[in-house]
C-alpha cells in the first residue's frame, strides 16, 4: 500500500535552547531536526499525558474500585471521565496510535515491536514493529509548534536490534520528536533495578537505597519542567509520563500492600460484584447493565483451597498497593503544577493502554512469564511479594474483576481487552467538572484532540514526503459540551487474528480458533447501547446486521493496512488464555 511506504530520512542535530539539569543531559546525535518553530500564541496550554499500564477499566477509585486513588480521583472531579474509550488491547499498538493518531496497523505496529536482528529485512508489513518516518508523531507536531517535549518512562516502540547508538536509534524518542527521554525501551522492567536509557544512551541501573522507578520518573518530570520554565518561561511544555504501574512486576513498599491485607480475602467474585454495584451508583455504567457470567476457564473463588485463597489475596493486595503508590506519585506531579501556577493552563490526559493483564492463569512469582514456582514455595515466601526478590504477576481471574463489567481481559477483542479508563481535564474549557462522558472515543483520537487544543495539527507533508493520513478525530468539542457528537461512529480492531468492529451502537467480534481458516471463525453480535457489557449474543437474532458489520470490518481492515491476517504463534497463544474459549465448547 502506498500509505505504508517506509521512509528513512537523515537525522541531524537538534539544539536545545537554555540550560537543562544534569539528570536530563543527553547525546543529541541523530536527532531529527524540527522545522522552524512557530511562536506559540498567548494562553497555549501545557499538555501532560499520563499513561498507566495494564490497569483495568474498574481499577481506579473514580471508576468504581476499592483501590485508593485520591489524586487521580481529584483529576476526575476537575475534569471528565470517558466511559467508551477503546484501546488496541495491548501496549505497543495502543502507544503507536496514541503517538501518531493513526491505527496501529497503518504504522506497522500491529503487535509488540518485532524481534528484527538487522536494520532492514525488507518487511514493510503491519508487523514490522517500526513507525514509518512519514507518520509524524504528536511530539514532532508539538515541537514544531514551539513546545518543549519530554518523554519519561515506558516507550516500547523500538525493535530489538535498535540499541541507541548512531544508526541504530531511529525509533528512540529523541528521533520521534522529544527533546529529552529518560525511561525504558521494553515492555516492562524491574521497578527497583530498572534498565534505563537517558536520551539515546543506556545508563547504569540505579543502585541507591529506597529507589523506586515511579518516584524517579516523577522527580525527573518535575525537574524537566522546572528547567524548561527557567530557560524559556513562555515556552509551552508537553510531558509524556508513562508509568510501569501496574504492569508486572508488581513491586512496591510493604506498607502499601498491608493497607489491603484484609480487603481481598473475599475473592475476585465478590470484588467484581461490589465494583459492579458501585459503578452503577456512580453512573459509570447504565443501571440496566448486566454482569456477564464468569469467564470460561476462570475458577470461582469458592472452589479454591484455603492456601490458594490466602496466597492469591496477597497478590491482589500487592497490585492494589502498586496502584496506590503510583497515584501518590501522580499527586506529587499535580501538586508541583498547582504550586508553580501551571495547573490553570495545563491539559491533562490520563488513560490505561489496555484491559487488565491476562497472561498467567495462576499468576507468577519470580518472573512475570514462564514462572514455575510452586504454590507451596510461594506460600513460604509470601512476604517477598512486592520486594526486589520477586517479579510478580497476579492470577488471571483478578483481571476479570479489573475489567468489570466486561468479559475477558487484555489481548482479547471483547470490551474487557479494549475498553480502558480515560480522564481529561482542561481548566477553562471543561465547564461541568466531574461529569461522565459516554461519547465513543478511540486512542487514535487523543493526538488530534491535543493538537487542536494547542492550536496546531499534523503536517500534510514531512521532509518532502506525503504524510500517512491521520485516522484520529478530535473530541475537543466534547470537553466543552455533553451534547457534542461523538468524534467517530466506526472503529475496527484486530490483534493476533482476533477481530472486532464497532458501528454506532452495534459491535461484532470473532475470536479466532488457532489452526483453522479465518473464514470459519464464529462472529458474535452485541448492541452496546442496550447491552454495554456484551452479555447477550444477538448473532442469530439479527443475522443481516452481523453480515453488514462483517463486511464493514473487511473494508476498514483493508483501508488501514490490517491485511492479510496472520496466525498467532503457539508461544503467544500459551500466555493469552484463548484456548479457554474453545476447551469447553463455548
Question: Is pTM, for the whole model, over 0.75?
Answer: yes
310-364 pLDDT, tens digit each? 999 999 999 999 999 999 999 999 999 999 999 999 999 999 999 999 999 999 9
Report if residue 46 sits inside a domain. Answer: no
Q: What nine digits make up the cell of 83?
A: 466511559
> What are the CA-CA distances from residue 347 to residues 46, 79, 334, 410 (Å)?
6, 10, 12, 28
Please report whether residue 68 resides in a domain: yes
Domain with residue 577: its CATH number is: 3.30.1120.10
C-alpha cell at 79: 475534569
Domain count, the chain: 2
The secondary structure of residue 578, as a DSSP letter, is T
158: left (phi over 0), alpha (psi -120 to 50) or beta: beta
Q: Examine the domain organization and report whether 284 and 376 are in the same domain.
A: yes
Q: What is the pLDDT of residue 577?
A: 64
8 A C-beta contact, residue 152 and residue 182? yes
Residues 248 and 312 in one domain: yes
Q: Assess if residue 451 is contained within a domain.
A: yes
Question: Does 278 share its domain with 156?
Answer: yes
pLDDT at 583: 54
Does any domain span residue 3? no
- Per-residue pLDDT reduced to its tens digit, 232-243: 999 999 999 999
CA–CA dist 217, 214 (Å, integer):
5
pLDDT at res. 247: 97
Range 110-130 average pLDDT: 74
Domain end call among 445, 465, 488: 488
Question: Would the pLDDT of 399 be above 50?
Answer: yes
pLDDT tens sequence across 502-561? 999 999 999 998 889 999 999 999 999 999 999 999 999 999 999 999 999 999 999 999
Whether 220 and 23 have beta carbons less than 8 Å apart is answered as yes
Q: How many CB atoms lie within 10 A of CB 570?
A: 9
Clarify whether residues 416 and 523 are in a common domain. Answer: no
Judged against a pLDDT cut of 60, whether residue 365 lies above it is answered with yes
Q: Is the pLDDT of residue 378 over 50?
A: yes
- Order across the sheet with 523-527: list the strands: 490-495, 498-503, 506-510, 523-527
Q: Which runs of E-coded beta strand occur in 132-236?
A: 148-154, 180-184, 197-198, 201-202
> Looking at the predicted structure, is the pLDDT value of residue 188 above 90?
yes
Flag whether 7 is in a domain: no
More confident residue, 43 or 498: 498
The CA-atom distances, in angstroms, between 547 and each of 488, 491, 501, 521 are 21, 16, 12, 13
Q: Are residues 471 and 507 in the same domain?
A: no
Q: Are residues 498 and 473 in the same domain?
A: no
- pLDDT band, very low/low/confident/very high, at 31 (cuts 50, 70, 90): very low
Q: pLDDT tens-digit profile of 241-275?
A: 999 999 999 999 999 999 999 999 999 999 999 99
Residues 161 and 288 in one domain: yes
Per-residue pLDDT at 81 exceeds 80 = yes
**C-alpha distances out from residue 186 to 25, 211, 574, Å:** 21, 20, 21
pLDDT at 5 exceeding the cut of 60: no
Looking up residue 478, the CATH number of its domain turns out to be: 3.40.720.10
Say which range, 35-39, 151-155, 466-470, 493-497, has the weakest mean pLDDT: 35-39
Confidence label for 581 from pLDDT (cuts 50, 70 and 90): low
Q: Supply the pLDDT for residue 582.
A: 59
**CA 178 to CA 552: how far, in whole Å?**
37
Name the pLDDT band for 572 (thresholds 50, 70, 90): low
pLDDT, average across residues 400-412: 97
Is residue 237 one of the residues assigned to a domain? yes
Kindly state whether residue 78 falls inside one of the protein's structural domains. Answer: yes
What per-residue confidence (pLDDT) applies to 483? 96
For residues 335 and 427, state if they share a domain: yes
d(CA 586, CA 581): 6
Task: Please say which residue of 488, 513, 541 terminates a domain.
Answer: 488
Residue that finishes a domain, picked among 439, 473, 488: 488
pLDDT in the model for residue 463:
75
CA distance 256 to 318: 8
Q: In terms of domains, do 444 and 501 share one?
A: no
pLDDT at 297: 92
380 & 509 share domain? no
Do 482 and 495 reside in the same domain of the chain?
Answer: no
pLDDT at 6: 39
Q: 379 Cβ partners below 8 Å, 6+ apart?
A: 307, 310, 311
pLDDT tens per residue, range 424-438:
999 999 999 999 999
Indicate whether 111 pLDDT > 70: yes
Res 453 pLDDT > 90? yes
Res 42 pLDDT > 80: no
Q: Are 239 and 224 in contact (CB under 8 A)?
A: yes
End-to-end CA, the chain: 38
Q: Is the pLDDT of residue 75 over 50?
A: yes
Closest by alpha carbon to 257, among 319, 210, 211, 308? 319
State the residue range of the domain holding 462: 52-488
Q: Judge whether residue 115 has pLDDT over 70.
A: no
Residue 304 DSSP SS3: coil
pLDDT of residue 124: 73
Residue 38 confidence (pLDDT): 46
- Judge if 553 and 458 occupy the same domain: no
In a domain, 335, yes or no: yes
Residues 6+ apart with CB under 8 A from 198: 23, 24, 25, 26, 181, 182
**What is the model's pLDDT at position 579?**
64
State residue 425's pLDDT score. Answer: 98
Average pLDDT, the chain: 90
Q: pLDDT band for 43, please (50, 70, 90 cuts).
A: confident
Amino acid at each position: 500500500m502506498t500509505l505504508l511506504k517506509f521512509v528513512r530520512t537523515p537525522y541531524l542535530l537538534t539544539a536545545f535552547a537554555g540550560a537543562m539539569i544534569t539528570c536530563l543531559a543527553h547525546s543529541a546525535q541523530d536527532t531529527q531536526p524540527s522545522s522552524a518553530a512557530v511562536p506559540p500564541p498567548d494562553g497555549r496550554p501545557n499538555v501532560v499525558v499520563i499513561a498507566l499500564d495494564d490497569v483495568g477499566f474498574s481499577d481506579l477509585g473514580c471508576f468504581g474500585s476499592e483501590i485508593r486513588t485520591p489524586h487521580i480521583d481529584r483529576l476526575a472531579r476537575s475534569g471528565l471521565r470517558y466511559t467508551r474509550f477503546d484501546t488496541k488491547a495491548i501496549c505497543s499498538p495502543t502507544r503507536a496510535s496514541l503517538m501518531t493518531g493513526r491505527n496501529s496497523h497503518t504504522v506497522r505496529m500491529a503487535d509488540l515491536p518485532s524481534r528484527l536482528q538487522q536494520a532492514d529485512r525488507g518487511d514493510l508489513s503491519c508487523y514490522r514493529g517500526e513507525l514509518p518516518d512519514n507518520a509524524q508523531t504528536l511530539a514532532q507536531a508539538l515541537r514544531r509548534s514551539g513546545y518543549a517535549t519530554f518523554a519519561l518512562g515506558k516507550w516500547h516502540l523500538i525493535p530489538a536490534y535498535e540499541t541507541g547508538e548512531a544508526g541504530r536509534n531511529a525509533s528512540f524518542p529523541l528521533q520521534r520528536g522529544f527533546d529529552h527521554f529518560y525511561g525504558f525501551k521494553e515492555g516492562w522492567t524491574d521497578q527497583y533495578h530498572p534498565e534505563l536509557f537517558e536520551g539515546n544512551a543506556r545508563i547504569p541501573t540505579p543502585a541507591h537505597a529506597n529507589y523506586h522507578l515511579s518516584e524517579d520518573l516523577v522527580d525527573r518530570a518535575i525537574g524537566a519542567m522546572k528547567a524548561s520554565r527557567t530557560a524559556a518561561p513562555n515556552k509551552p511544555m508537553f510531558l509524556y509520563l508513562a508509568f510501569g504501574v501496574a504492569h508486572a512486576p508488581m513491586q512496591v513498599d510493604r506498607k502499601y500492600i498491608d493497607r489491603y491485607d484484609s480487603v481481598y480475602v473475599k475473592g475476585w467474585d465478590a470484588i467484581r460484584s461490589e465494583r459492579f454495584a458501585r459503578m452503577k451508583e456512580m453512573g459509570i455504567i447504565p443501571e440496566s447493565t448486566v454482569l456477564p457470567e464468569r469467564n470460561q476457564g476462570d475458577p470461582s473463588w469458592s472452589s479454591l483451597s484455603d492456601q490458594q485463597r490466602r496466597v492469591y489475596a496477597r497478590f491482589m493486595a500487592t497490585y492494589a498497593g502498586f496502584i496506590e503508590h503510583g497515584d501518590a506519585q501522580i499527586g506529587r506531579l499535580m501538586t508541583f503544577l498547582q504550586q508553580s501556577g501551571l495547573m490553570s493552563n495545563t491539559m491533562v490526559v490520563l488513560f490505561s493502554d489496555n484491559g487488565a493483564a491476562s497472561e498467567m492463569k495462576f499468576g507468577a512469582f519470580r518472573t512475570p512469564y514462564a514462572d514455575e514456582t510452586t504454590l507451596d514455595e510461594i506460600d513460604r515466601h509470601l512476604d517477598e511479594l512486592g520486594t526486589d526478590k520477586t517479579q510478580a504477576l497476579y492470577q488471571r481471574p483478578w483481571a476479570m474483576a479489573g475489567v468489570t463489567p466486561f468479559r475477558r481481559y487484555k489481548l482479547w477483542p471483547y470490551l474487557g481487552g479494549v475498553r480502558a479508563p480515560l480522564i481529561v481535564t482542561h481548566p477553562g474549557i471543561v465547564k461541568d467538572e466531574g461529569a461522565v462522558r459516554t461519547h465513543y472515543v478511540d486512542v487514535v483520537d487523543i493526538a488530534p484532540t491535543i493538537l487542536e487544543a494547542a492550536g496546531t495539527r499534523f503536517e500534510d507533508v514531512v521532509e518532502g514526503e506525503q504524510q500517512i493520513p491521520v485516522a484520529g478525530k478530535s473530541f475537543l468539542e466534547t470537553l466543552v459540551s455533553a451534547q457534542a457528537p461523538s468524534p467517530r461512529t466506526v472503529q475496527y480492531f484486530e490483534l493476533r487474528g482476533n477481530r472486532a468492529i464497532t458501528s454506532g451502537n452495534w459491535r461484532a467480534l470473532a475470536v479466532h480458533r488457532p489452526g483453522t481458516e479465518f473464514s470459519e471463525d464464529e462472529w458474535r453480535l452485541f448492541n452496546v447501547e442496550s447491552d454495554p457489557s456484551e452479555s447477550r449474543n444477538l448473532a442469530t437474532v439479527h443475522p443481516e446486521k452481523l453480515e453488514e458489520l462483517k463486511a464493514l470490518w473487511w473494508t476498514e481492515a483493508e483501508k488501514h493496512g490490517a491485511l492479510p491476517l496472520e496466525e498467532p504463534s503457539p508461544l503467544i497463544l500459551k500466555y493469552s488464555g484463548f484456548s479457554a474459549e474453545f476447551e469447553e465448547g463455548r
